Chains A and B, each alone.
Chain A
Amino acid sequence: MQTLTGKYRIFSGLRTTWPWLLVLSALLYACQETGNAEKKLPSYDEQARNAVLLPLDSFTNTPLIQQRVAEIRQALTLPIPVLLCNDSLGGPQQMAQMLALRDTGFARHLKNPASGKPYRNEIFGVYPARQSDLVTVKLPYTLQSTYRVEMYNYALNMTSVAMVDVDRQQVLTSYIIEDVQPDVSGYLKDLAVKIAVEAPEVQQALGIKPSEKEALMASTKTALNRSRCERSRHLCVAPTFVKGDKALWAIIDLTDHRLVGIRWTTVGEPGTAVPLLTEKKLQDDKITSCYCEVEQPLKKNSWEMKYMLTSSDGLRISDVQFNGQPVLRSAKLVDWHVSYSGTDGFGYSDAVGCPYFSQAAVVAWEIPKVAELRDDQQRVIGFVLEQTYRSEGWPTPCNYNYRQRYEFYNDGRFRVACASIGRGCGNTGTYRPVFRIAFSGEQNSFYEYKENNWQQWQQEQWQQQGSLTSYTPEGFQYKIGSGGKGYFIEPGRGQFGDGGRGDFSWVYVTRHQAGRDEGENDLVTIGPCCNTDYHQGPDKFIEPGPEDIMQSSLVVWYVAQMRNDDRKGNEYCWAENVLEDGVWRTKAYPCFAGPMFVPVKN
């Protein structure tokens, strides 16, 4: 079990799926300059490429934030669990906010009706009322003693508004506006600026630690306005720092009190509209410009490869070498087939890939992540290259979250894996990810462990992992290679310590021939959602006339099967929201699958 905040928290205290394997986050912050990009990118792309995205699980632990978090937690224990406005309010304004809180309409959403747990609500402002605020008010009032109280609900992303006449001690009217954030308070603006100024990323970009006075609050408007973090549904503002003809935008998440990312933009002519730079745009632009347009090189430990995000085949690695020896031509995640039992063939074939101009239904949410793999002794044993894809509404029903992961070990092993983190359209879903793994070498042969022996496959074919499947004592089912070199293939049987419960996989082997594209390039959707047999797509490259595959260039297709489960204590491929500190956090139960490749030792 992992706890997500709509995001990945590797070291969450709630995590239970890594009994022996620990992953240390070590993000690639910016695009690596490859020098081999052929396309001359426009300046917009340059700015997107140079943007810095912080990991979604990042947080700052300054005394200021600690104090803020303590105040939030304290407020949530109050009978009326509301953070009062921290700005300097006059007495009548103080009274207005207290009276508003006693209005059942205004205070309708202070607690979750099911659990009784408090939502994080905060009064952002108490302003003198304008005549236009009171057009629908039928009660008598005095404009001079009437105030507009605005409260934000962080969990539900809604604003409560009350018009309060303090002389009459009366709430004249109150209403709720969904999906709208009020203007943030002066206190929160100051907090955002302090977070921005203290952020090393901001200081590095500017070349100096800016003063708080230099920050312009680009989000400030005179009316109810939109948060900059429309994607995570967090409350964000964007302090900017102008330097010459450019402005550095720092998007600050005021729900989690962290820097989301920074990006330079060109300052427009005076009077021109302020460009809208949002969390989603920051992320999508960066992902597209850095990882969808160009291949990125990765050289780490004894491994070397290139990787990039595809239109519909997820994160593709290519030209993979270990100790200078070719291992893979490429590997990628072609499809996710999701079917729901008992629903008459209902389901989806999801492709994962780039956010812009792609055939992906579930798009990359973060930039690819590179992190160290450590064992339980904290020794570095390899690294992981990981990509997250998400639907905007996850984990609400019929939204998806997929994770693709390549693990590379210092001893030459590697693993091609993925996970679904639910939640999908029901609790009867079966996920079938389709991997395509193309091995280097033109003389490879493929073997199956059967009847205590390695038996060679002569022709293209497929086989399903089942209860009668034979494994070597080490757990290997297949072997691929030539001349005594190659890799054992160890399908998932729940042994990898990531919570996986077995892959029940189909393995297909096809022959690769130069000049004939059987998925070497980006594959459109390869198979339907809901077949429950081997017709998952790769079979179309085998049937009707399978080719010889002895001493050939081979492609291994691996289709795992994971069945979701929402039963308490048994959750799998599942996610649910829980209230934590007054906001929704996601408790995730990923189902990992994928084979391990172990070098054949002479």
Chain B
Amino acid sequence: MKFRFHTESRFKSCCQQAGILVACMSVVIMLNRCTGITTGPDDFTKWLPASIPDTVYLDLSNVYTRHKRELGRYLFYDNRLSVNNTRSCSSCHAQTFSFTDSYTRSSGAMGDLHQRNSRPLINLVYNRYLTAADSTIHFPESQMDGPLFNEHPPEMGAGGHKQQIMDRLKNDSIYIALYAKAYPGEKDPVNWKNSKLAIATFIKTIISTDAPYDRYRRDSIQYPLPAPATRGRQLFFSDKLKCYQCHGGNDFSTPLQTVQQRQPDFYFNTGLYNIDGKGGYPSYDRGLIDLTGEKTDEGKYRVPVLRNLVFTAPYYHDGSALTLEEVILGYEQGGRIVKNGPFAGDGRINPFKSPLVSGFSLTDTERRDLISFLYSLSDSVLINNKNYANPYR
């Protein structure tokens, strides 16, 4: 695939990326859709648009079938998966909000506040690192234990109630049929392992690639970008702002220099906080440091996907910015200044802040243009795509 503008040429074509392996798990292989694997109704690649060149990451131990996906769709929207029948995966990942929930931070089945803002469950197969601050998770199959069984805080609250919850499903004739089709030949298919694989199968098929900017890239003549977004795109890819350095790839979430797909290159401290003047972040969520224990990893979070920002406010890992204006202002300043409250501090002088966040200046018009471009990455088709809709409605 060729790109018309040099700025886009910074993206890697699929064939350039083909063959790059990540060998962190023996059961994991990297699938490049360019190679083509299978055909027919149970071909996963039918979900992947030909226009997207990026590498695809799949846990091939979880074989795709359409029946498994359909079971996963039902489970994704089913409140019975939570301890008290109040929350489903979709509670925090609603299609209306590009599979986020529009809250600052999500709350669990017992009302506990999660430490993070809900992330959009889109295009997961194009992303090597899935969560905000856990670089060990690469696939939904392994990510799912967290929201299902976490106890600090409980999200779905299923931990300790596993059997009880499975029993709910076993008594439902719809599920008996769905599990039987998804896992033919299994004597007792209604179990957590199969459930998680099914949900993972479903969410891996959530692909969002029909934003105005996608259409523009496919055919710039038929789908020209409006002038503000065009100017914003030029800013985004300019050497003045260098947004593309961190926000590259199909989802604008792949740092440009991560040719080796190495963990450190995906996690950055952008100077959101500096509570103690020594780089401190709020104690309930300190970023990658909570995994690595490395002081220099405090405040490091994964570069977020920039797709569908129209639908995914509020922003940042903790939802602490309501508008894109606030976010951009933080980058303009070279870090965020929190003036009041318990988290007050000058993020600009956070010692662990990435040097890439060095500040720049924008006029009001330029800022609006940049936002227009970012909005042009929003895919309204996804919001109403029946393939992803709640089957209970």
Contacts and interface: CB of A to CB of B under 8 A. Distances in A.
When A and B assemble into the complex, do they touch directly, with CB atoms less than 8 Å apart? Answer: yes
Interface of A: 77-80, 84, 89-92, 94-95, 98-99, 102, 140, 165-170
B381 A91 contact: yes
Interface in B212-250: 212, 226-229
B382 interface: yes
A168 B102 contact: no
Interface residues of B, number: 28
Q: Which residue among A89, A99, A170 has the maximum number of chain B CB atoms within 10 Å of its CB?
A: A170
A95 B378 contact: yes
B310 A90 contact: no
B57 interface: no
B323 interface: yes
A89 B95 CA distance: 13
B362 interface: no
Contacts of A102: 310, 313, 323-324
Interface of B: 96, 102-104, 212, 226-229, 310-311, 313-314, 319, 322-324, 372, 375-376, 378-385
Contacts of B372: 168-170
A95 B226 contact: no
A384 to B, nearest CB: 42
A91 B383 contact: yes
A92 B380 contact: yes
B103 A89 contact: no
A99 B103 CA distance: 17
Contacts of B324: 102
Given A94-B96, A102-B323, A168-B226, A79 B102 contact: yes
A126 to B, nearest CB: 11
A169 B375 CA distance: 6
Contacts of B376: 169
A166 B385 CA distance: 17
Instruction: Rank and list the top 4 A-B pairs by shortest CB-CB distance, nearest first.
Output: A91-B380, A169-B375, A95-B380, A168-B226
A102 B324 CA distance: 9
6 contacts: A79-B104, A89-B384, A91-B382, A91-B384, A95-B310, A95-B383
A64 to B, nearest CB: 16
A90 B384 contact: yes
B377 to A, nearest CB: 9
Contacts of B380: 90-92, 94-95, 166
A94 B375 CA distance: 13
Nearest to A94: B383
Nearest to A88: B384
A170 B313 CA distance: 16
A169 B212 contact: yes
Q: Which residue among A95, A99, A140 has the maximum number of chain B CB atoms within 10 Å of its CB?
A: A95
Contact of A99 (B104, B212, B375): B375
A171 to B, nearest CB: 10
B310 A98 contact: yes
B310 A79 contact: no
A309 B313 CA distance: 56
B98 to A, nearest CB: 9
Contact of B102 (A78, A91, A95, A170): A78
Given A90-B384, A95-B310, A95-B311, 13 more contacts: A78-B102, A79-B103, A79-B314, A84-B96, A94-B383, A95-B380, A98-B311, A102-B324, A167-B226, A168-B226, A169-B375, A169-B378, A170-B228
Q: Which residue among A90, A94, A99 has the maximum number of chain B CB atoms within 10 Å of its CB?
A: A94
Contacts of A77: 103
Q: Which residue among A80, A84, A89, A98 has the maximum number of chain B CB atoms within 10 Å of its CB?
A: A98
A90 B102 CA distance: 19
A364 B104 CA distance: 47
A398 B216 CA distance: 60
Q: Which residue among B96, B228, B310 has the maximum number of chain A CB atoms within 10 Å of its CB?
A: B310
Nearest to A98: B310
A176 B324 CA distance: 23
Contacts of B226: 140, 165, 167-170
B227 A140 contact: yes
A407 to B, nearest CB: 45
A99 B382 CA distance: 16
Contacts of B311: 94-95, 98
Contacts of A170: 226, 228, 372
A90 B372 CA distance: 21
B379 to A, nearest CB: 8
A78 B102 CA distance: 7
B212 A94 contact: no
A167 B102 CA distance: 23
A469 B101 CA distance: 67
Contacts of B96: 84, 94
B224 to A, nearest CB: 10
Contacts of B319: 79
B381 A79 contact: no
Contacts of A90: 380, 384
Q: Which residue among A77, A89, A102 has the maximum number of chain B CB atoms within 10 Å of its CB?
A: A102
B313 A79 contact: yes
B386 to A, nearest CB: 11
A535 to B, nearest CB: 58
Contacts of B375: 99, 169
Contacts of A99: 310, 375
A419 to B, nearest CB: 40
B103 A78 contact: yes
Nearest to B373: A169
A207 to B, nearest CB: 35
Contacts of B322: 79-80
B375 to A, nearest CB: 4
A190 to B, nearest CB: 14
A84 B97 CA distance: 11
Q: Which residue among B104, B226, B313 has the maximum number of chain A CB atoms within 10 Å of its CB?
A: B226
Contacts of B228: 168, 170
Contacts of B385: 91
A168 B376 CA distance: 7
Nearest to B379: A91
A544 B382 CA distance: 88
Contacts of B382: 91
B344 to A, nearest CB: 19
B26 to A, nearest CB: 41
Nearest to A89: B384
Contacts of A84: 96
Contacts of A168: 226, 228-229, 372
Nearest to B117: A79
Contact of B384 (A94, A165, A166): A94
B323 A167 contact: no
Contact of A80 (B212, B229, B313, B379): B313
A80 B378 CA distance: 18
A106 to B, nearest CB: 13
Nearest to A81: B102
A140 B380 CA distance: 21
Contacts of A165: 226
A78 B104 CA distance: 7
A94 B94 CA distance: 13
A201 B238 CA distance: 68
A77 B104 CA distance: 9
B294 to A, nearest CB: 32
A170 B376 CA distance: 10
A90 B386 CA distance: 11
